[in-house]
Structure 1
């Protein structure tokens, strides 16, 4: 069974860009809900294997994908933020320049993609080994519009629960503020591990 991971910082540590109340509700309620849903799906699939009754396999496989992806993406999302953010250094800027032209163009495309996610979802910078390049992906819900084998490096949650208390319907304001708390050290570490 899976547990809700602790935040790597205090609830108010990302202020003023990400407010304490939203972080607390987002982590303790929303992320916990995906952990609970994942555990339930795992339990129901175990029951199906034991009984041999797969009548609800389609439902529980969907629940597994939705809640499992929600748990993984939230875990990565919390990790790729830090109080005050950090500088983009290491090997990643060179790769960003190769795949997007320059860092500023990358940030513009990522921000535009995040703002344009339909309904609820995520924006992800991922390393796609089979393509040997970085790609920006819009992930609807938690699991749609992804590339199998893509390794998430930088994750932005653009579900309304991620920002609504402070930013209301101003998703682009949230995205703009979020760049101030990106933990590039974690993103660069993920990139180095992915390209090995």
Structure 2
């Protein structure tokens, strides 16, 4: 079983926050997607009706972050930040009250970083195939809720992209590269980060 180090989960939290900020950071104005493609994987976002803006300094990636943006190497983007600014004190008011991620399959090790972000008292909704709780980074409550939704059979094998466009409650989702290209004309997405370098 794969295990992501805690620093990777913290970097993932910062990248998710930056991705939400890049897509308008409004629960109704944009949708982001986490993609896993045939040769690479990435987290992406559906274009926001509002102009894209750069991430605020409060959501800077952790120091040690790799410029390649891969979770296996520390996940994040170019640039460095001091450890004091690596994780914002809170995401309340920066991100939607609940950040919801649609995965591409049943819970699996590749989604481990997402589940590590859920605080110590998760709520498991077996009927809706969702796990939710407070978003935690480096042991601290970030002030917002975080929800991970199962994909594949849990959503009738529909594409994650179609879910992002039909369910305004979703913030991001795992979209494979083939799907992103195939649906780019009618349902475009914007890559936010790549949790995997190769798939499979």
Shorter chain as denominator, the TM-score bin is: under 0.3
TM-score, length basis structure 2: 0.25
Larger radius of gyration: 1
Greater RCO (CA < 8 Å, at least 6 residues apart):
2
Return the structure number with greater strand share: 2
TM-score normalised per structure 1: 0.25
